[in-house]
C-alpha cells in the first residue's frame, strides 16, 4: 500500500515570507500523480497544485511551487509571499496511475502571522 508522510503537524510563517511544507511518500510504481490540497477554516478542500510523476519539471501555480524529487520520493510545497488567506490545513496526496484511490498525508496546519 502507498503511504504519504507529512512530518510537520504545524508550521507558521510571517506574512510576505516564504515557507516550505514537506511531504514524502512510498511507492513501488513509476507513474503516479501527486497533489497538494488546502483546507481553510471553511473546511472546503481546494486543489492547490498537482504533479505528474513522468514530468521532470516542477509544477508552479502563481505563488505555489513544488520541489519534486522522484528518486527521493519527496514532494514539498513552497508558498512564496505568504498571505493571511493561506492559513489552512495542507494535505499532500498520492494517486496511483493504475487505480482511483487517493492516499492522503496527515496534514500540516499552516498559520500566516500578520
Partner 1 sequence: GAVVSQHPSRVICKSGTSVKIECRSLDFQATTMFWYRQFPKQSLMLMATSNEGSKATYEQGVEKDKFLINHASLTLSTLTVTSAHPEDSSFYICSALEAGLQETQYFGPGTRLLVL
Among the listed ranges 11-19, 20-28, 75-83, 93-101, the one in contact with partner 1 (CB under 8 A) is 93-101
Mask for 71-90, x = binds partner 1 (CB under 8 A): ------------------x-
**Shortest distance, CB of residue 28 to partner 1, whole angstroms?**
20
The answer to whether 4 and 92 have CB atoms below 8 angstroms apart is yes
Q: Quick one: DSSP state of residue 54?
A: T
What's the chain's Rg over C-alpha atoms? 14
Interaction of residue 43 with partner 1, rule CB under 8 A: yes
Interaction of residue 91 with partner 1, rule CB under 8 A: yes
| Distance in angstroms (rounded) separating the CA atoms of residues 24 and 30 | 15
Listing DSSP states for 13-37 in one string gives EETTS-EEE--EEE-S-SSEEEEEE
Residues that bind partner 1 (CB under 8 A): 33, 35, 37, 42-47, 50, 52, 89, 91, 93, 95, 100-102, 104-107, 109
Amino acid at each position: 500500500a502507498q503511504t504519504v508522510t507529512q512530518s510537520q503537524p504545524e508550521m507558521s510563517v510571517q506574512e510576505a515570507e516564504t515557507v516550505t511544507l514537506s511531504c514524502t511518500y512510498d511507492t513501488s510504481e513509476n507513474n503516479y500523480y501527486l497533489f497538494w490540497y488546502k483546507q481553510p477554516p471553511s473546511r472546503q478542500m481546494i486543489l492547490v497544485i498537482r504533479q505528474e510523476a513522468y514530468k521532470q519539471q516542477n509544477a508552479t501555480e502563481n505563488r505555489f511551487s513544488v520541489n519534486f524529487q522522484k528518486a527521493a520520493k519527496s514532494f514539498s510545497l513552497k508558498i512564496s509571499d505568504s498571505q493571511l488567506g493561506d492559513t489552512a490545513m495542507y494535505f499532500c496526496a498520492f494517486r496511483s496511475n493504475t487505480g482511483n484511490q487517493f492516499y492522503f498525508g496527515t496534514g500540516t496546519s499552516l498559520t500566516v502571522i500578520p
